[in-house]
Amino acid sequence: MSIKIEMLRCFAVVARCGKLSEAAAQLGRTPSAISMMLKQLEGHLGEPLFETDRKNKLSPLGAFVLEQAEHELRQFDSTVQIIEDYAKARQGRVRLAAVPSLAGSILPQAILSYSNNFPEVKIELRDMDSASVLRELARERVDIGLATADQYAGNLHRQELLSDEFGLVCPPDHPLAQLGRALSWEDLLPHRFIANALSAQIAAEASQQLHENALLKVHNMASILAMVQAGLGVSLLPEMTARLVRTSGLLFCPLADTTARRQIQLLRKAGNPVSPAARELERQILATVKELHPTAPTFSP
């Protein structure tokens, strides 16, 4: 026979109570069942744990076993609590990578709501471009990604999140800003163009021509805005970046071609188990998107 945690708990309660009847009531068992378990423990150890049958005075062995049992029970109960909290998403860590436009718009509200419900969960957020998000997912350095993934992006579970239209970013005094209307591709062709990884995804032939002829390509969002501010050209960015554009003193001008859109997905490595904490954060992100963008897709686990 091996010593079980139930035996140690039974003995510890009896030792603290000093009476079988009180210990039995506390443990929700009969006095005879408690007595049998104590006899099994003493039989295994080969010596009595109490000086008398009244269970109100410990033997030297009993005092030692009580000290060790209480230490083990505290450790066991703590471990069980941690496991249960993790399973219920009350503890753990979620690593999140997102494109800057979502990191600065959707995620603050989503994380605030999530943290109110799960205050003990640690969240690590990094903002980066879509290509970097996909690399971090492939290397399993993040649990959730919010980015644009094409059909060749690898083994990913994808949930459509939202889409937004591209528009022209330019200084307020730029000739295109003075037109006061949605801009056609023909409007853009005569002007210096700053290519970027986001706008390169636009399938329109005229857009592809702009990118092919561009002498400057910039990847970082802050650098794109700085180059436009410096008068090095105009660029195309998604509508969700408009807030960043406005704070930079630039204008966001809509395009006449409304098919020029960016698709954003909620991504994770396919086949990887999802922790309860990460699953609940996914739900909160999708709920927040639905609240802020009512036409966004609904959640499908």
Q: CB of 196 within 8 A of CB of 177?
A: no
Please write the tens of the pLDDT for every residue from 14-31. Answer: 999 988 889 889 989 998
Please write the tens of the pLDDT for every residue from 45-91. Answer: 999 999 888 888 899 999 999 999 999 999 888 888 778 877 776 77
Largest CA distance in the chain: 101
DSSP assignment of 1-67 equals ----HHHHHHHHHHHHHSSHHHHHHHHTS-HHHHHHHHHHHHHHHTS-SBSSTTS-SB-HHHHHHHH
Look up the pTM and report it: 0.67
According to the model, what pLDDT value does residue 272 have? 80
Reading the chain (301 residues) residue by residue, the pLDDT tens digits are 688 899 899 999 999 998 888 988 998 999 899 899 999 998 899 999 998 888 888 999 999 999 999 999 998 888 887 788 777 767 789 999 999 889 888 999 999 999 999 998 999 999 998 889 999 999 999 999 999 887 656 788 999 999 999 999 999 999 999 999 999 999 999 999 999 988 988 989 999 999 999 999 998 888 999 999 999 999 999 988 877 777 888 999 999 999 999 999 999 988 888 889 999 999 999 999 998 876 554 444 3
Closest CA to 169 of 204, 205, 187, 193: 193
Q: Which domains does the chain have, with CATH numbers?
A: 5-87 (1.10.10.10), 93-161+262-292 (3.40.190.10), 165-261 (3.40.190.10)
Task: Give the type of residue at 279.
Answer: R
